[in-house]
Amino acid sequence: MKLKSIYKTKTLELYASENSTTLNMPYFENGVSAGFPSPAEDHTQSKIDLNNLLIENPSATYYVRVNGDSMLGAGIVNGDLLIVDRSIEVTNNCIVVAHVDGEFTVKRIKKVKKKTFLQAENNNYKPIEITKEMDFELFGVVAHAIHHFV
């Protein structure tokens, strides 16, 4: 910090402080004390961040809640929270959120020869073939499912 004189009389002088520069002081994580320093100090690491782990592309990631049991086999259970990443390219066998004839659904993409199916992971549901007549749009690829136990 520098001081700059801005006003001066016989008895007093006023200064303006110039704060554009900063002086970095050494920083001690544990504070300064007289005791023995923590032996773990040199080994501290940043905490585990689930965002980092689960979300590759925040601007392309959306959350979706599911109701129903058609994807039980894939480990998607009623009430789960899905993390959907729109930046992932859709490939065979990936699980997607799609919009079919006016409704959203979550299914696995299966390509068999030249046909494409939306396949459930539960024998009670039949695969749906995607045809040209259908109103079909992909929303995104399901990257993770979060299941709450408590």
Give the active site residues.
Answer: 70, 107
- Farthest CA pair distance, the chain: 96
Instruction: Identify which of 84, 65, 81 has the alpha carbon closest to the alpha carbon of residue 140.
Output: 84
- Which region among 4-12, 32-40, 41-49, 61-69 touches other proteins (by CB under 8 A)? 61-69
Given the complex with other proteins, which of 42 and 137 has the nearer CB atom?
137
Instruction: Identify which of 31, 5, 32, 28 has the alpha carbon closest to the alpha carbon of residue 18.
Output: 5
CA atoms 87, 119, 54, 63: torsion sign: positive
Q: Going residue by residue from 76 to 115, which x/- string records binding to other proteins, judged by CB under 8 A?
A: x----x----xx---------x-x--xxxxxx--------
Given the complex with other proteins, which of 19 and 33 has the nearer CB atom?
19
Q: Which two tokens stand for residue 2?
A: 């520098």
Backbone angles phi, psi at 106, to 5 degrees: -120, 120
Is 4 a residue that touches other proteins (CB under 8 A)?
no
Give contact residues for other proteins (rule: CB under 8 A): 19, 57-60, 62-71, 76, 81, 86-87, 97, 99, 102-107, 120, 135, 137, 139
